[in-house]
Amino acid sequence: MERTLILIKPDAIGRGLIGKIITRFEEKGLKLAGIKFLKLTDALLSEHYSHLADKPFFGGIKRFMQLTPVIAICLEGLDCVETTRRLCGITKAREAAPGTIRGDWAMSVQANLVHASDSIETANQEVKRFFDDSELFEYEIALTSMIYSEDELR
Ligand code: TYD
């Protein structure tokens, strides 16, 4: 099954939304393959946000992302990358659709609670960037047969 990288950002940590955000992913039917708390270094952030290096807000996001430790999660599921992006909502949180994580709980572009990989290729790179193989787990959850059809599990 497909995997993607989620970061729970400092605004979510500071606002006490960790549990609610993880619950949204769990209740959707996505499975956690890995989870950890970490302090982002300048080097890791430069690599992670390299596509934004020439933007005026680059320094701002790096400072923001270092305000607290963040939580990195590797989620697993069918079409997980696209499904997760939809669940998070668009970047500008105050315009994100109600029902999404950003749409329900955030107002800002920078402080938009979560990062989610934006393509399968990026997801593969980002999962490797944040997790060693030994930190990712394969296990069965009891509800799998209630979440997917037999065809979808093949
Ligand atoms: P981006 O990869 O464009 O969005 P997304 O997180 O939805 O994939 O941008 C990465 C982060 O950079 C974004 O979550 C918040 C921050 N950012 C700003 O602070 N100002 C901006 O104008 C943009 C576009 C992004």
The verdict on whether 115 is a catalytic residue reads yes
Question: Domain for residue 49, yes or no?
Answer: yes
Whose tokens are 């069965």? That residue is 140
User: Residue 79's domain is classified under what CATH number?
Assistant: 3.30.70.141
Question: Domain for residue 101, yes or no?
Answer: yes
Measured distance CA(34)–CA(122) in Å, rounded: 17
Question: Domain for residue 94, yes or no?
Answer: yes
In this prediction the pTM is 0.97
Q: State phi, psi for 125 to the nearest 5 degrees.
A: -65, -45
pLDDT in tens, 4-61: 999 999 999 999 999 999 999 999 999 999 999 999 999 999 999 999 999 999 999 9
Using the atom order of ligand 1, give the atom closest to the CA of residue 112. 14
Question: Domain for residue 16, yes or no?
Answer: yes
103 CA to centre of own chain: 15
pLDDT in tens, 92-118: 999 999 999 999 999 999 999 999 999
Q: How many structural domains are present in the chain?
A: 1
Domain that holds residue 44: 2-147
Q: What pLDDT is recorded for position 5?
A: 98
Q: What is the distance in A from the centroid of ligand 1 to the CA of 47? A: 14
Closest Cα to atom 23 of ligand 1: 109
Q: What pLDDT is recorded for position 24?
A: 98
Question: Domain for residue 143, yes or no?
Answer: yes
Confidence of residue 65 (pLDDT cuts 50, 70, 90): very high
H-assigned helices in the chain: 10-14, 18-28, 42-48, 58-65, 80-88, 101-105, 120-130, 144-147, 150-153
Using the atom order of ligand 1, give the atom closest to the CA of residue 90. 7
